[in-house]
């Protein structure tokens, strides 16, 4: 049996394009949305809180951050201990953000209620992973956005960003602050 989103508290870790789109979708479900991000911005889509508050209060925790040195295994044993035993973790971002051993322990012991995962520390997920044996986990093989439309949109966006760079403009979706040809000479 699943749970309704209506009336639930959803925590969004990371408020870039994906986190903002999720928050926008959630507005129609009547949820309380908590947001944690490096740079809080003005929004009507939820309330910015510190990470500990988000983990403590959320019924669903959605991870929407990039994998980097700062976020590597940042959802760890400490994070799971803060979460409610009725809470669910959703990771569609990157597997390296979650300490998989700590998550397996939290799921096995009832420290959290469940998880939905489309990404893993090692991909494809090894066949001997304990995650396969847990009844409180939904696993997909990193294909959550694998649709004709999503692939077309990603290809078009990538082409547009390349065009911007080649014409000396700043790309809209830069992972790093790019150095333009005029800045390097």
142 is catalytic: yes
Catalytic residue among 32, 51, 105, 142: 142
Half-sphere exposure of 71 (CA within 13 A, CB side): 19
94 is catalytic: yes
CA angle 19, 86, 45 (to 5 degrees): 25
Q: Order the strands of the 60-63 sheet from edge to edge.
A: 47-48, 32-36, 9-13, 60-63, 88-91, 114-117, 137-139
3 is catalytic: no
Residue 121 CA: distances (Å) to CA of 11, 96, 117:
22, 5, 11
Catalytic residue among 3, 38, 123, 152: 123
The residues that are catalytic are 94, 123, 142
């Amino acid at each position: 049996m699943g749970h309704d989103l209506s009336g639930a508290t959803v925590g969004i870790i990371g408020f870039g394009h994906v986190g903002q789109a999720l928050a926008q979708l959630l507005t129609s479900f009547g949820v309380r949305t908590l947001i944690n991000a490096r740079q809080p911005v003005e929004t009507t889509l939820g309330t910015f809180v510190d990470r500990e508050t988000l983990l403590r209060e959320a019924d669903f925790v959605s991870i929407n951050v990039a994998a980097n040195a700062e976020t590597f295994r940042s959802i760890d044993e400490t994070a799971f201990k803060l979460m409610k035993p009725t809470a669910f973790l959703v990771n569609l971002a990157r597997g390296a953000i979650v300490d998989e051993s700590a998550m397996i322990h939290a799921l096995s012991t009832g420290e959290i209620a469940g998880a939905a995962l489309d990404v893993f520390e090692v991909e494809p997920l090894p066949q001997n992973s304990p995650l396969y044996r847990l009844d409180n986990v939904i696993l997909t093989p990193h294909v959550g956005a694998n649709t004709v439309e999503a692939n077309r949109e990603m290809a078009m966006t990538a082409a547009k960003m390349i065009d911007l760079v080649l014409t000396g403009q700043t790309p809209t979706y830069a992972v790093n602050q790019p150095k333009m040809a005029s800045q390097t000479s």
